[in-house]
Structure formats: C-alpha cells, structure tokens
Structure 1
Amino acid sequence: MIDSDCIFCKIVAGDIPSTKVLETDRVFAFRDLYPKAPTHVLVVPKDHYANVAELTAADPALAGEVLRATAEVAAAEGVAESGWRLFSNTGADGGQDVFHVHFHVAGGKPLGRMLSN
C-alpha cells in the first residue's frame, strides 16, 4: 500500500530523487538529505506504515526484513565494525517528522550518548 501524499512513498516510487543505498523487493534505503553523521541512511519499508507499532502489528516479517536491511547498510557503509546507531522516531513527542516508518542508520564518528539524564 502506498500513500500518495507521503514523501517517502514518493521516494520509493522514484517520483522524488534520492541516493539509493540498498533496495530489496520490500525495503528501500537512501541517504538522508540532512545528515547528522558522516553515514546517515534512512531505511524504509516500501509499503506505507505510519510508525514502528503499526508496522510490527501488521507485518512482523517485514519489520524483520527492515531490521536486517539496517545491518546490511551498516556493513556496506563500513561502520559495522566501528559502531553505528539505529533509531526510529515515533509520534510527535518522539520527534517523528515523516509519518512513514523509517530507521536511521548513523555512524562514521563517535556519536556519544543519545539522551542525557
């Protein structure tokens, strides 16, 4: 399923250009336009799900494919050995800006603590 108003659905469809990093039948990964680290790749399911909870409830197997793809991206980007961060923002309070579930693969430098006390 595709949401015609969703920017990530448009990227997956090729209607908006992106720099593809990885693609499978059900997963697409592309470089973040505003990277927060030397490596910053977004990994999305090609089908539209608003957030992690919606994806895992609807298609746990696809959720696993997306997670597997994040590790493949980290390896392909050369950050698997040195370390990388995986995160997904869910909901407005969680900082989600695009309501198509996506995972950030970030690395390439020491990232420090994500949250402070």
Structure 2
Amino acid sequence: MSETIFSKIIRREIPADIVYEDDLSLAFNDINPQAPVHLLIIPKKPIATINDIQEDDRELVGHLYWVAAKLAAEMGFADDGYRTVMNCGENSGQTVFHIHLHLLAGQPMGWPPYSDKRKQA
C-alpha cells in the first residue's frame, strides 16, 4: 500500500485534532466536516479499501465500530443518533486509500445521502 496522509497522522508527522487513540486505532476531527460532529476513525494497520480487508482483519474492523459507539456515548449523542460511513473506491468518494470510518452527528440526516443532481427515487 502506498503512503497516505493517515499514515503520516499516525506517525505524528502531520498534525490532527485527535480525540481518541488506542493500540489499534486513532480518531480525529475531519478537516472538512460535513456535520457538526465529523470524526474519522482509522486503523493503525494500513488497509487501502474495504476490498482489501482480510479474514484476520475482522476484529480490527469491528473495533472501529466499537470506537464509534464509545465516542458517541462519551460525547453525548449516542441516544440522538449518528451515522457511520465507510466508502470503498473512487466512485464512492474515497479519497484517502486507508480505510476510515466516518462518524457524523449533531444534526438530522436525510436519506439517501446524495449530494448531486441525480433524481432520487
């Protein structure tokens, strides 16, 4: 896997507003938030896309969701609701090829989450 900005954040070569860290993961505020709360939760192990997750990564990926629920509870929005999103590939909007879980909260969210001009059925 090629070097990404997330690898540099993990190594503290690039600053980030880190809100959580453990041996497996790191969570920080997104620099381009799409909601009042927009965190990125990343594994410290580099995995480019969902398609690259291996069988032995199952617990690691589950851990990212556990961190999301933990942060939602600690930050006080678990009961109001929140959204988690993990994009896969360019057509999904993935721009950093190191899997990351978006945790969005703090406002009502519509469905589907289209941001373009396509008709929504």
Same fold by TM-score greater than 0.5: yes
Q: State the 1:59 CA deviation.
A: 1.1
1:107 and 1:89 map into 2 onto residues whose CA distance is 17
- Within the candidate set 71, 86, 89, 1:91 is matched to 89
1:70 and 1:52 map into 2 onto residues whose CA distance is 17
Q: Which residue of 2 aligns with 1:74?
A: 72
1:47 and 1:22 map into 2 onto residues whose CA distance is 16
Q: Which amino acid aligns with 1:8?
A: F
Q: Rg: which structure is higher? A: 2
2:58 matches 1:60: yes
Aligned residues: 115
Q: Which residue of 1 aligns with 2:105?
A: 107
- Within the candidate set 24, 28, 31, 1:30 is matched to 28
Q: Which digits, 9 at most, give the CA deviation of each residue in 1:72-102, with x for residues without a partner?
A: 1212222101010000110011110000000
Q: State the 1:63 CA deviation.
A: 1.0
CA contact (8 A) 1:26 1:46 kept: yes
CA contact (8 A) 1:86 1:105 kept: yes
Q: Which amino acid aligns with 1:80?
A: A
Q: State the 1:20 CA deviation.
A: 0.7
Q: Which consecutive unaligned segments of at least 5 residues does structure 1 have?
A: none
The percentage of aligned residue pairs carrying the same residue is 37
Q: TM-score, normalization: structure 1?
A: 0.90
Q: Which residue of 2 aligns with 1:17?
A: 15
User: CA-atom RMSD, angstroms?
Assistant: 1.5
Q: Which consecutive unaligned segments of at least 5 residues does structure 2 have?
A: 115-119
Q: Which amino acid aligns with 1:101?
A: I
Q: TM-score, normalization: structure 2?
A: 0.87
